[in-house]
Amino acid sequence: MELQAAKQKFIQSWGALGSSWGINRTMAQIHALLLVAPDPLSADEIMEELQISRGNANMNIRALIDWGLLFKTLKTGDRKEYFIAEKDMWEVMKCIITQRKKRELEPMLKVLDEISAVDGNAPEDQEFEKVIQDIKLFSSKADASLDTLLKADSNWFIGTFLKMIR
């Protein structure tokens, strides 16, 4: 496969996958583009390369910066802003986990807390109570585990899981 074709394919695939990862297509494409770009790119270059509008480009660049997956850089004597991607996969993963945890897990915990303020104590309620408690226990455990994972460093992760794999 040719280098250019390969890059193209990577960008497209990463974009397609993005959607199932809770990231929208453009956002994922921009990230992919910058991952394989040898040098920082300006917003205009990104628009050009991916054939997207200014507004779209800007919004998603902002979002990626918020997520911590992109950084601004400046070139001396140039007023444009240039962008580079976080290339350390461990960091990338941490960013993604952080965001998804915030959007997927934490709202769940919040709802469960509200729900478990259910006051009835009829025998029939016990079943319901139990299900909710179970989910709550499990979710908070997962939540805590992810927090720990986020604090851990790359080596720890690799080490632990290599052990797991054997």
How many binding residues for DNA (CB under 7 A)?
23
Tell whether residue 159 is a contact of a copy of itself (CB under 8 A).
no
Contacting residue, 62, 138, 150, 153, with a copy of itself by CB under 8 A: 138
Contacting residue, 6, 65, 74, 150, with a copy of itself by CB under 8 A: 6
| Calpha distance 70→49 (Å, rounded) | 17
Q: Which is nearer to DNA, 58 or 139 (CB)?
A: 58
| Calpha distance 67→51 (Å, rounded) | 23
Contacting residue, 65, 74, 144, 150, with a copy of itself by CB under 8 A: 144
Q: Which of DNA, a copy of itself, none lies near 164, with the C-beta cut-off 5 to 8 A by kind?
A: a copy of itself
| Cα–chain center distance at 110 | 21
DSSP 8-state symbol, 24: -
- The conformational region for residue 44 under phi > 0 = left, psi -120 to 50 = alpha, else beta, is alpha
Q: Which among 117, 118, 106, 112 is positioned nearest to 134, based on CA atoms? A: 112
Q: Which of DNA, a copy of itself, none lies near 81, with the C-beta cut-off 5 to 8 A by kind?
A: DNA
| Residues at the contact surface with DNA, assessed by CB under 7 A | 19, 24-27, 42-44, 51-56, 58-62, 78-81
